[in-house]
């Protein structure tokens, strides 16, 4: 149920005009500006009275000594309620976004491009977080003995990604030990994620410590050497468009703090996790992020889960100041989330 039902049609009309004007210009909006665009021909005096009522209700505030008003977070929440459901993405944006993802068939590449595309279409910060899932699960692995104590480890995922690395071992392993270790992994862990496989391997090695045979010892050495490390960890975080947050003198300290937050990838992932529910179907708009990051009171997160069928593979979002093109950004986030499902399903 809407929390904004207490304002009447005239207040709604004027509040919407002020929000859209401020989003467009970035300048405090005065009664004369509103009167020039008002279709009902209301006088500046009438508009001033309505603006005073809106200020009392907590929808407008007056910065410094300016005669104009700017929207509060509550005003933006009202505005998002009004446009939710009616916002439609333009054909031009659809084409531009679709072209950006041509040839993509892998989660990591899609997410990396997502952060870039969202930063371009929103003029905010594009963020994408991919979680380890079936796309990063093990298909098969093999090890080859090189000279001395070096081993070539090749890991192939179920999505066809091949990762190889040369490991320097603490002791020299025979090719037979390496082949036994690879066979054990391929027979026991096919389709396991790297993270789950690592945990289970540690458990089994601990369990077998009393009867530690040579094959398990070789596996332990390979594990410690990093043969089964996921280079992306349990999640990959892509952030692009920080330069879109223009720092002026007034906002310099607040934005500097926010930039420091965005530089820490884990904090960004935690932020999306805190505000985006994997069960949600639609785009979520969160205005004011101070509950998780105090210095982000005047920032907005517009995001959605990234799914392939019913499996959540990550999340995508735009983070930016409250003065944002909400309609444009909401439709872009929604369209990219749908495209993620379509493209990654086709690549199965």
Same-domain check for residues 238 and 165: no
Q: 């050497």: which residue's tokens?
A: 225
| Domain contains 313 | yes
Does 220 lie in the same domain as 278? no
> Pick from 21, 54, 83: which residue ends a domain?
83
What integer pLDDT is reported at residue 252 of this predicted model?
63
The predicted structure's pLDDT at residue 153: 87
Amino acid 1: pLDDT: 39
What pLDDT does 147 receive?
Answer: 83
What pLDDT is attached to residue 253?
62
145 and 245, same structural domain?
A: no
Residues 127 and 255 in one domain: yes
d(C-alpha 286, C-alpha 148), whole Å: 56
Residue 331 within any structural domain of the chain: yes
> 203 and 69: one domain?
no
* CATH number of the CATH domain containing 123: 3.30.450.40
**Phi-psi group of 26: left, alpha or beta (phi > 0 → left; psi -120 to 50 → alpha; rest → beta):** left
* 107 and 237 belong to one structural domain: yes
Burial class (CB in 10 A: 0-12, 13-18, 19+), 191: exposed
With 0.95 as the threshold, say if the pTM is over it: no
Structural domain contains residue 3: no
Are both 106 and 158 inside the same structural domain?
Answer: no
Taking only the tens of pLDDT, the chain with its 348 residues reads 345 556 888 899 999 999 999 998 888 999 888 888 777 778 888 999 999 999 999 999 988 766 789 999 999 999 999 888 777 888 888 998 999 998 887 787 888 889 989 988 887 889 998 875 555 678 888 889 888 888 888 888 776 667 778 888 888 888 888 898 899 889 998 888 777 788 888 888 777 665 556 667 777 778 777 676 655 445 678 788 777 775 554 556 666 666 677 767 777 888 888 888 877 878 999 999 888 888 788 889 999 988 888 777 889 999 988 888 999 999 999 999 999 988 877 755
Do 185 and 310 have their domain in common?
no
- Indicate which CATH number applies to the domain containing 56: 1.10.10.10
Q: Is residue 4 part of a domain?
A: no
Asked if residue 126 lies in contact with residue 303, where contact means CB atoms within 8 angstroms, the answer is no
195 and 263 co-located in one domain: no
Helices and strands (H, E) in the chain, number of each type: 12, 10
Domain end, chosen from 190, 224, 258, is at 224
Residue showing tokens 């935690």: 270
Element (H, E) at 311: strand 311-321
Establish if 2 belongs to a structural domain: no
**What pLDDT, on a 0 to 100 scale, did the predictor assign at position 105?**
77
Q: Which of 270, 271, 305, 302 is nearest to 286 (CA)?
A: 302
Question: Is residue 164, in this structure, part of any structural domain at all?
Answer: yes
Q: Pairing mode, if any, of strands 284-287 and 299-308?
A: antiparallel
| Together in a domain, 69 and 112 | no
> Do 294 and 244 reside in the same domain of the chain?
yes
Range of the domain at 98: 91-132+233-346
* Helix 9-25 / helix 73-83 crossing angle, nearest 10 deg: 100
pLDDT confidence of residue 73? 92
pLDDT value at residue 49 = 92
Within a domain: residue 279?
A: yes
pLDDT for the residue 3? 57
CATH assignment at residue 183? 3.30.390.60
Indicate the number of domains in the chain: 3
- Answer with the one of 224, 251, 266 that is the final residue of a domain: 224
Same domain, 168 and 72: no
1 within some domain:
no
Sign of CA dihedral 271, 274, 279, 281: negative
pLDDT of amino acid 246:
59
């Amino acid at each position: 149920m809407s929390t904004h039902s207490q304002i009447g049609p005239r207040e709604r009309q004027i509040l919407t005009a002020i929000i859209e004007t401020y989003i467009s210009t970035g300048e405090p909006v005065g009664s004369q500006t509103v009167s020039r665009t008002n279709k009902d021909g209301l006088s500046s005096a009438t508009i001033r009275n309505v603006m005073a009522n809106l200020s009392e209700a907590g929808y407008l505030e007056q910065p410094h000594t300016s005669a104009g008003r700017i929207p509060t977070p509550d005003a933006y929440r009202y505005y998002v309620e009004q446009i939710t459901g009616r916002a439609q993405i333009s054909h031009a944006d659809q084409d531009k976004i679709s072209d950006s993802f041509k040839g993509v068939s892998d989660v990591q590449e899609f997410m990396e491009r997502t952060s870039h595309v969202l930063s371009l279409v929103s003029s905010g910060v594009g963020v994408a977080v991919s979680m380890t899932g079936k796309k990063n699960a093990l298909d098969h692995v093999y090890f080859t003995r090189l000279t001395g104590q070096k081993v070539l480890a090749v890991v192939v995922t179920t999505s066809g990604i091949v990762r190889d690395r040369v490991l320097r071992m603490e002791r020299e392993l025979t090719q037979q030990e390496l082949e036994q270790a690879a066979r054990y992994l391929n027979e026991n862990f096919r389709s396991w994620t790297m993270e789950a496989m690592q945990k289970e391997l540690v458990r089994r090695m601990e369990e077998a410590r009393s009867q530690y045979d040579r094959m398990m010892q070789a596996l332990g050495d390979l594990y410690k050497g990093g043969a089964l490390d996921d280079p992306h960890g349990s999640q990959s975080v892509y952030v692009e468009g920080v330069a879109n947050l223009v720092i002026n003198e007034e906002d310099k300290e607040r934005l500097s703090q926010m930039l420091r937050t965005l530089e820490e990838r884990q904090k960004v992932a935690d932020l999306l996790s805190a505000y985006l529910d994997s069960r949600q179907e639609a785009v979520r708009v969160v205005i004011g992020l101070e509950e998780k990051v105090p210095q982000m009171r005047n920032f907005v997160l517009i995001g959605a889960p990234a799914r392939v069928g019913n499996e959540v593979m990550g999340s995508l979002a735009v983070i930016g100041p409250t003065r944002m093109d909400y309609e444009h950004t909401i439709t872009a986030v929604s369209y990219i989330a749908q495209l993620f499902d379509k493209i990654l399903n086709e690549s199965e």
